[in-house]
Amino acid sequence: MELIAIGVQDRTDAVRDRLACKVRMLRDKGIDVEMTERSAGPLTFLCFHLRDTGRGIPAGQRDLVRYHAASALADAILYDVAKGFVARTVRERYPYFDEVEREKIVACAAATLASQGGDIDPVAGVAAASDGDSRAFARRRCDVVFRILDYLDTASCLVLEGFVRFRLKGFVDELREAVDAAVDDYMIEREYNEFIRLLKYFVDIQEPRIDEVHVVMRPGGLFRLLDSDGNVVDNDYLEGVTPEFVEADVDYEDLLMSALISVSPRKIVLHLGRGEGVADTVRRVFEGRVSACPGCRLCEPQHAKAHLPAGGRSSDQN
């Protein structure tokens, strides 16, 4: 007796493997079930059959087979179908990206989905760290399982891609939003990398004007450049800037980069404490010239005066 027929167009091998695993488990429990396969146009139907020995098939067995089939299909949707949908969405909605760029965007979308609640990332199969994410994924999976069971209560044939598109619209919307967010993040990263390359070009074509510059952070998040003798390095970008100016629509880190490029030092020592974002930019632009102070009072904003501490040292250059 054919109990369920599952129509699959994409990711057929992955769906077949998940269903076959459930069939083996059910047979180990003494339930005489088998899976057959037939084709109809672009679809492959994977069919569950229960053998009737002449005494009828217990209702409990039918329910058990339906539940385990729904469980396998939920995993197929959250892992295999989702991965294919994300890749296809990137390809169709953003055809101007090349293959390498698309792979980066898919990976970024996977990370976004994992952060929104996945014990295992539904696209990439990557374990997430948060217990809260694990619980969120369990709730999502249960919801998909029960939606499938609800459908199978009144129908014996389920076309997987159609079920996802029309019965799991919220999940499909999440996948599309994750793709769009990944594209935005990728474009920001690409523009940032182009910005870094441009700054490196300006650095490379300039002759160094000073041997050593120390970058310190003043109270209020303002930067200051000092030379090796502790004197303020004269520049038009940082000195005279007030916290009120920084709070306006001005990127003060851009001013720091402009100031450093204008003096083009041979060596830069960072005393920025937690300023890792700007420190990474400085390291990338002035590659091979930057070192970080292992700790001195200039590393604390309240002590960033216009002189160097006795015995202040910096770590190895990066």
pLDDT at residue number 1: 80
By CB neighbour count within 10 A (0-12 exposed, 13-18 middle, 19+ buried), where does 137 fall? buried
Q: What percent of the chain has pLDDT over 70?
A: 79
Q: Specify the higher pLDDT residue, 231 or 153.
A: 153
Token couple for 147? 């939606």
Mean pLDDT (whole number) for 165-177? 93
pLDDT for 68 beyond 90: yes
Mean pLDDT (whole number) for 64-77? 95
Residue 66 · residue 4 · CB < 8 Å: yes
73/158 Cα distance (integer angstroms):
10
pLDDT (tens digit per residue) in 268-289: 999 876 556 788 889 999 999 9
Residue spans of the domains in the chain: they are: 2-196, 208-303
pLDDT (tens digit per residue) in 2-60: 899 999 998 899 999 999 999 999 999 889 999 999 999 999 999 999 987 666 667 78
pLDDT (tens digit per residue) in 74-125: 999 998 888 889 999 999 999 999 999 999 999 999 888 877 654 334 444 4
pLDDT for 248 beyond 90: no
Q: Specify the higher pLDDT residue, 255 or 75.
A: 75
pLDDT at residue number 276: 65
190/187 Cα distance (integer angstroms):
5
pLDDT at residue number 102: 94
CATH 3.30.420, domain 208-303, yes or no:
yes
Least confident of 5-14, 51-60, 141-150, 233-242: 233-242
pLDDT (tens digit per residue) in 198-221: 999 999 888 888 999 999 887 766
